Chain A
């Protein structure tokens, strides 16, 4: 079957890829700013503003990738959208409350009377924690096939903790790159501890996924697929080893390798995500509905795709512009 001859085949595939891309963008980008939110209570009071300032110009656009991901799920796979979100009703609620609390805290903590700032710092942390935990929980539930049984919920709680620690790791890696001096040293310390959550999280998902589904087990542990896929775990292992080695040596003179941990963490997220995508393809609701069954009408998808081809490069362009405008070490944010 030629993948690109039938729009009913290649359009769902393309949209699954686009959705995957925006989920990945979200996990990396909002991952690091959620992570910074999680680290706020660990920072000294005088450093808290700098932590928030390091993500201030970015968090909003980072979060938009989530809206795009959910939007694509909704437009491209409407039936799956309903099934997944109804099954995850409660964690979605927790995440939304978390995102609300955290999003408004950015603004309130800077504008409310100084005496209320500690309160908004707490809201910022709690919001970040709620969002991270619930996303981890949803990931765990998704891997387990969206069924609410006790072992599945227990597993999801585990992934909730791992993802949260993983986010704080990438947040710490971001801070290593964006700060200097004492704060940077502390960030290295946070990263040293956080990396274990990341490793355990990836390991847990990697082992649980094939365990839950014989189909996924087949996909991974049969020849020659195992051979083709071997770069995924091998590269991941290499990244982990690099991180363990690099974090010990940071910070270095002239701030060398300060971006190393962040880049490696991004690579790890990409690899883990690639593995998941391979496992679940072609399903959008695990083991129930494939992307081809759930897809919207080709003519609607085509309408979106045409726009996407024009708009996505523009989005990437001005996202890069924004990161380059705010490159360098984080400084106090001022409205002038």
Chain B
């Protein structure tokens, strides 16, 4: 325990890096699993080969994302022990069963049926293959459920009692259905849906820009735009409800998100500022008068909590670091707004021109926004997770009390190792998606073998694109 502070900070950075890398891939697989099921069901219903082509294209990206999610998820499960032994020692009685249920009800289901979904189409009856696709999607969503339950419980813990500093479960119903769980779950599922919708729209737009005339690319562009346009208003609504829930249970987090220092009525909605934690004020503030009060309390005179309420008498801050929460929240909201504008514009253009004749400018915009879901998800994740600090489990376990006593040098060297690998893998991952898209655009992607029911669409796929 030579440098406890450094170990703490480095462990936080390491965990942050690992979970940031990890969350990218479930964010894709959660919704993409259901999208694949949709493509498969469309194919089953219409026998149009474009749906099978879409399935074949996106199942590759699903498989790749899934593998990335699995391997980085295993890392997470070990990190509890290597870096945060205090977490399991204190709240293991609650966290343990939730994680165990995730492994048992979700992991095995996904892993086993993924093998059948990816490689079993020629070995099982078609309905079994469709069922395997469903079970993988279902398993992925189950997995999300358990993880969100645990994460939400860490934000809004209930249904337990403390004995000698250790958490004992008293009411599993209350633990699972803790106050922030429904909001968080809906917010995450919608985030995944949006991420996938923009990824599909963006990659399809790229294919069209590269001269791909395949029916499947047009259909998936249309699919992505419609889903995105449908989900984004729901997400804004869900985000608002989630914010109100956070206000009730974690007011310090909301104060940091709003960049509000003093509790009071008529609090402005700060659009931009540089929060200064030492001076305890905002620099260069641009705000909408009464905005925060109206959003959070639905009236201008609504009293909104301020950060200065969360400072102990000895000066210890009981609120998170303001700037990261403040800025990541704004990045999330701004990305969401861009999603709203682009998807609704896209919807309009879709009605006007159709997917095949879409002008190039919006296609470029969709291509550029391919990974906007990642940006918004990460920003949202930082908002909520940094916003929980200094607590690991709100009011129960402080982050600093959970950290392991391994040396700072050890944490630093492994951190560098992880970062190098993650950077290389992200690079390779995006590279492969682009490669697959380019290959498809050049017409080199083989038409789905074994599904030759509709001859003419087949020809369309085979045409060289450029």
Contacts and interface: CB of A to CB of B under 8 A. Distances in A.
Interface of A: 56-58, 60-61, 63-64, 66-68, 70-76, 78-79, 81-86, 88-90, 92-93, 96-97, 99-101, 103-104, 106-108, 111-113, 296-297, 299-300, 303-304, 307-308, 311-312, 315, 318-319, 321-322, 325-326, 333-336
Nearest to B122: A336
B399 interface: no
B160 to A, nearest CB: 10
Contacts of B121: 335-336
Contacts of B428: 104, 108, 112
A37 B169 CA distance: 43
B105 interface: yes
Contacts of A315: 104, 108, 112
B449 A319 contact: no
Contact of A101 (B418, B421, B451): B421
A318 B112 contact: yes
Contacts of B421: 97, 100-101
Given A97-B421, A299-B168, A63 B67 contact: no
A333 B52 CA distance: 18
A70 B111 contact: no
Given A75-B92, A303-B169, A319-B108, 19 more contacts: A60-B70, A67-B103, A70-B78, A74-B88, A81-B81, A81-B85, A83-B85, A89-B82, A93-B417, A97-B418, A101-B421, A108-B428, A113-B435, A296-B96, A297-B169, A304-B101, A307-B97, A311-B105, A321-B112
Nearest to A85: B81
A96 B72 CA distance: 8
B120 interface: yes
A301 B96 CA distance: 9
Contacts of A63: 70, 74, 111
Contacts of B45: none
A86 B82 contact: yes
B85 A82 contact: yes
B81 A70 contact: yes
A73 B81 CA distance: 10
A335 B449 CA distance: 9
18 contacts: A61-B111, A64-B111, A71-B77, A71-B96, A72-B100, A74-B77, A75-B100, A76-B96, A86-B85, A104-B67, A111-B64, A112-B432, A300-B169, A307-B105, A326-B119, A333-B119, A334-B119, A336-B448
Given A71-B103, A74-B80, A111-B432, A99 B71 contact: yes
Contacts of A304: 96-97, 100-101
Contact of B451 (A90, A111, A336): A336
Nearest to A112: B432
B96 A335 contact: no
Given A96-B78, A296-B96, A336-B121, A67 B60 contact: no
Tell me the interface secondary structure of chain B in the complex.
Answer: helix
A69 to B, nearest CB: 10
Contacts of A73: 81
A1 to B, nearest CB: 25
B100 to A, nearest CB: 5
B313 to A, nearest CB: 34
B67 A78 contact: no
Given A86-B82, A86-B404, A304-B97, A81 B88 contact: yes
Nearest to A61: B111
A99 B99 contact: no
B273 interface: no
A86 B78 CA distance: 10
B74 A78 contact: no
A221 B310 CA distance: 64
A61 B404 CA distance: 30
B120 A296 contact: no
B376 interface: no
